[in-house]
């Protein structure tokens, strides 16, 4: 196993489940999950079993995107091997920082209430490397907060941006707040002044971003959410301020390319 891939397995080891006896995948409607994802470009999904790191439910769109047959993909190593060599270190650290942030800041009991997101390059069928958005949603864990199964989605976003911001985001589900554009680099006395504070969106703000992406006007958003137009406009202005975007068009583009929605 390559050293960079081995590093990924070391990161997952602290949350990897070892006992197969309790590894039961709950009944899931994949159509419902996938339909809730904004299709901003070619994408595919798969499930990781953290007991043996095997891959299942790999969607057929993987074949067209990467030029490999689904039957060839047995474990997560087969997908990790498509990662650009210069991005592998970032991917390992992004996973490590995301896990650490949830455990130490949010709480391990909230693992299934967050979707992790970051960008990196993957080799495509034409032999070139393209920028993809990676999203991961933990489907199940045991009573000791050890991972059982996770759903991952990879979306080609190279048509939206070719620049990676080398940050990660944690999108809150079930009413949890979202933490966006978190720094992956280690915090120390030397660099603490250089770190940008995380963008924190509330559940309502994420709802409004999704409606804006669907083409809703501020008035229609107000009607949809049963709030006044003035309140909807205040939410929109606060979202633009937090995200650093000048208008809704830039906000939607940034939200899609960085997996916020």
Lookup: tokens for 61: 């769109």
Q: What is the CATH class of 3-21+29-201?
A: alpha beta
Q: Could you write out the three-class secondary structure of the chain?
A: CCHHHHHHHHHHHCCECCCHHHCCCCCCCHHHHHHCCCCCCCEEEEEEECCCCEEECCCCHHHHHHCCCHHHCCEHHHHHCCECCCCHHHHHHHHHHHHHHHHHHHHHHHHHHEEEEEEEEEECCCCCEEEEEEEEEEEEECCCCCEEEEEEEEEECCCCCCCCCCEEEEEECCCCCEEEEEECCCCCCCCHHHCCCCEEECHHHHHHHHHHHCCCCHHHHHHHHCCCHHHHHHHHHHHHHHHCCCCHHHHHHHHHHCCCC
Phi/psi region, residue 87 (left: phi>0; alpha: psi -120 to 50; beta: rest), is alpha
Tell me the average pLDDT across 238-261.
83
Query: How many angstroms separate the CA atoms of 181 and 183, rounded?
Result: 6
Q: What is the per-residue pLDDT across 153-203, written as a single tens digit (0 to 9) for each?
A: 999 989 888 888 888 999 888 778 888 888 887 543 344 344 455 677 888
Instruction: Write out pLDDT tens, residues 237-246.
Output: 998 988 888 8
Contact 151, 34 (CB under 8 A): no
- Picking from 124, 15, 24, the residue whose alpha carbon sits closest to that of residue 79 is 124
pLDDT confidence bin for 76, thresholds 50/70/90: very high
pLDDT at 192: 36
Task: Give the Cα separation of 243 and 84 in Å (integer).
Answer: 28
Tokens of 28: 């899931």
Do 3-21+29-201 and 204-261 have matching folds?
Answer: no
Question: Please, are residues 179 and 200 in contact by the beta-carbon 8 Å criterion?
Answer: yes
93: nearest Cα among 74, 120, 115 = 120
Give this prediction's pTM.
0.76
Per-domain residue ranges for the chain? 3-21+29-201, 204-261
CA separation for the pair 204, 177 (Å, rounded): 9
Residue bearing the bigger pLDDT, 161 or 73: 73
| 204-261 maps to CATH 3.40.120.10 | no
Digit-coded pLDDT (tens) for 4-34? 666 666 766 656 555 544 444 444 455 555 5
């Amino acid at each position: 196993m390559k050293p960079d891939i081995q590093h990924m397995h070391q990161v997952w080891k602290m949350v990897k489940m070892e006992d197969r006896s309790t590894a039961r995948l709950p009944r899931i409607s994949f159509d419902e999950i996938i339909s809730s994802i904004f299709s901003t470009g070619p994408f595919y999904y798969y499930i990781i079993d953290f007991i043996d790191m095997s891959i299942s439910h790999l969607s057929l769109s993987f074949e067209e995107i990467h030029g490999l047959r689904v039957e060839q993909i047995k474990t997560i190593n087969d997908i990790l091997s498509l990662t650009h060599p210069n991005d592998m270190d970032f991917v390992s650290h992004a996973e490590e920082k995301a896990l650490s942030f949830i455990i130490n800041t949010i709480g391990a009991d909230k693992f299934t209430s967050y979707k992790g997101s970051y960008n990196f390059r993957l080799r495509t069928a034409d032999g070139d490397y393209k920028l993809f958005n990676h999203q991961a949603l933990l489907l199940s864990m045991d009573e000791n907060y050890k991972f059982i199964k996770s759903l991952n989605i990879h979306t080609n976003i190279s048509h939206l941006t070719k620049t990676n911001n080398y940050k990660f985001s944690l999108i809150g589900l079930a009413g949890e707040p979202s933490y966006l554009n978190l720094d992956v680099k280690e915090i120390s006395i030397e660099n603490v002044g250089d770190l940008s504070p995380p963008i924190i969106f509330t559940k309502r703000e994420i709802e409004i971003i999704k409606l804006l992406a669907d083409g809703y006007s501020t008035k229609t958003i107000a009607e949809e959410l049963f709030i006044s137009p003035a309140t909807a406009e205040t939410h929109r202005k606060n979202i633009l301020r937090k995200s650093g975007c000048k208008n809704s068009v830039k906000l939607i583009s940034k939200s899609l390319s960085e997996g916020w929605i």
